Amino acid sequence: MPQLAWFSKNDRDTYKLINDLRYAGIDGAAVGQEVEDAVLQIFADKEIVSVENPSRGAGWHSRHQNNTQEAMAWFPDVVYQPWFVVNKLFCKCDLLVKNEMGTYDLREIKAKNSIRKKSKDAPLLNDLVADISFQDHVLKQSLGMMYSGNIYILHLNKEYIKDGEVDFDQLIIKEEVTGECMEPAALELIVSSVRESIPLSKEQLDQKYPYDKQDHFSYFGVPAPKESIWKIPRIRAKLNSLYQWGKRRITDLDEMDIESLRNSKGEETGLMRYIKLRQTDQTVIDKEAIEKQFEALSYPLFFYDYETVSVPVPLFQKTHAWQQVVVQYSCHKVEKDGTITHSEWLIDHGETDNLSVIDSLIKDLEWGEGTYVVRYQGFENKRNEELAKVYPQHATALEKINENTFDLMTVFSTRNYFDRRFQWSSSIKKVLPVMTDISYSNLAISNGSLAADKLAKLAKGIIPEQELGSTKANLLQYCKQDTWAMVRIWEEVKKKLKVN
pLDDT, tens digit (0-9, with 9 covering 90-100), for 182-237:
999 999 998 998 899 999 999 998 888 887 766 788 888 888 887 888 888 778 77
Q: What is the pLDDT of residue 214?
A: 67
Is 176 in the same domain as 68? yes
46 residue type, one letter: K
163 residue type, one letter: D
Q: Which pLDDT band, with edges at 50, 70 and 90, does 23 fall under?
A: low
Whether the bond into 233 is cis, omega within 30 of 0: no
Residue 273 predicted with pLDDT over 90: no
Q: Is residue 112 assigned to a domain?
A: yes
In Å, what is the CA distance from 109 to each residue of 16, 96, 140, 175, 460?
A: 22, 11, 19, 11, 23
Q: Which residue has the higher pLDDT, 395 or 281?
A: 395
Q: What is the pLDDT of residue 228?
A: 86
Is 304 in the same domain as 423? yes
Residue that finishes a domain, picked among 243, 264, 281:
281
pTM above 0.85, yes or no: yes
Residues written for the chain: 500
Q: Is residue 219 assigned to a domain?
A: no
Q: Is residue 269 assigned to a domain?
A: yes
Residue 493 predicted with pLDDT over 50: yes
The span from the CA of 177 to the CA of 235, in Å, is: 35
Is 250 in the same domain as 316? no
- Total structural domains within the chain: 3
The span from the CA of 454 to the CA of 48, in Å, is: 33
Q: Is residue 317 assigned to a domain?
A: yes
Is 293 in the same domain as 245? no
Q: Which domain holds residue 250?
A: 224-281
Say if CB 158 and CB 320 are below 8 A apart: yes
Q: Is residue 461 assigned to a domain?
A: yes
Strand pairing category for 325-334 and 301-309: antiparallel
Q: What is the pLDDT of residue 429?
A: 86
SS (H, E, C) the chain: CHHHHHHHHHCHHHHHHHHHHHCCCCCHHHHHHHHHHHHHHHCCCCCEEECCCCCCCCCHHHHHHHHHHHHHCCCCCEEECCEEEECCEEEECCEEEECCCCCEEEEEEECCCCCECCCCCCCECHHHHHHHHHHHHHHHHHHHHHEEEEEEEEEECCCCCCCCCCCHHHHEEEEECHHHCCCHHHHHHHHHHHHHHCCCCHHHHHHHCCCCCCCHHHHHCCCCCCCEHHHCCCCHHHHHHHHHCCCCEHHHCCHHHHHCCCCCCCCCCHHHHHHHHHHHCCCEECHHHHHHHHHCCCCCEEEEEEEEECCCCCCCCCCCCCCCEEEEEEEEEECCCCCEEEEEEECCCCCCCCHHHHHHHHHHCHHHCCEEEECCHHHHHHHHHHHHHHCHHHHHHHHHHHHCEEECCHHHHCCCEECHHHCCCCCHHHHHHHHCCCCCCCCCCCCHHHHHHHHHHHHHCCCCHHHHHHHHHHHHHHHHHHHHHHHHHHHHHHHHHHHC
Q: Which pLDDT band, with edges at 50, 70 and 90, does 500 fall under?
A: very low
Residue 52 predicted with pLDDT over 90: no
Mean pLDDT along residues 246-256: 89
Q: Worst-scoring range by mean pLDDT, 106-115, 152-161, 181-190, 230-239?
A: 230-239
Is 172 in the same domain as 232? no
Q: Which pLDDT band, with edges at 50, 70 and 90, does 56 fall under?
A: low
Is 274 in the same domain as 327? no
Is 300 in the same domain as 252? no
Is 276 in the same domain as 293? no
- CATH assignment at residue 325: 3.30.420.10
Residue 53 predicted with pLDDT over 80: no
Residue that finishes a domain, picked among 281, 312, 329:
281
Mean pLDDT along residues 350-376: 95
Is 312 in the same domain as 441? yes
Is 416 in the same domain as 464? yes
Is 262 in the same domain as 298? no
Q: Is residue 26 assigned to a domain?
A: no
Q: Is residue 351 assigned to a domain?
A: yes
Work out the mean pLDDT of the chain and round it to a whole number.
Answer: 91
pLDDT in tens, 398-442: 999 999 999 999 999 988 999 988 887 888 988 999 999 998 989
Q: Is residue 293 assigned to a domain?
A: yes
Is 144 in the same domain as 272? no
The span from the CA of 500 to the CA of 498, in Å, is: 6
Say if CB 110 and CB 39 are below 8 A apart: no
Mean pLDDT along residues 481-500: 91
Residue that finishes a domain, picked among 120, 154, 182:
182
Q: Worst-scoring range by mean pLDDT, 52-61, 80-89, 451-460, 475-484?
A: 52-61
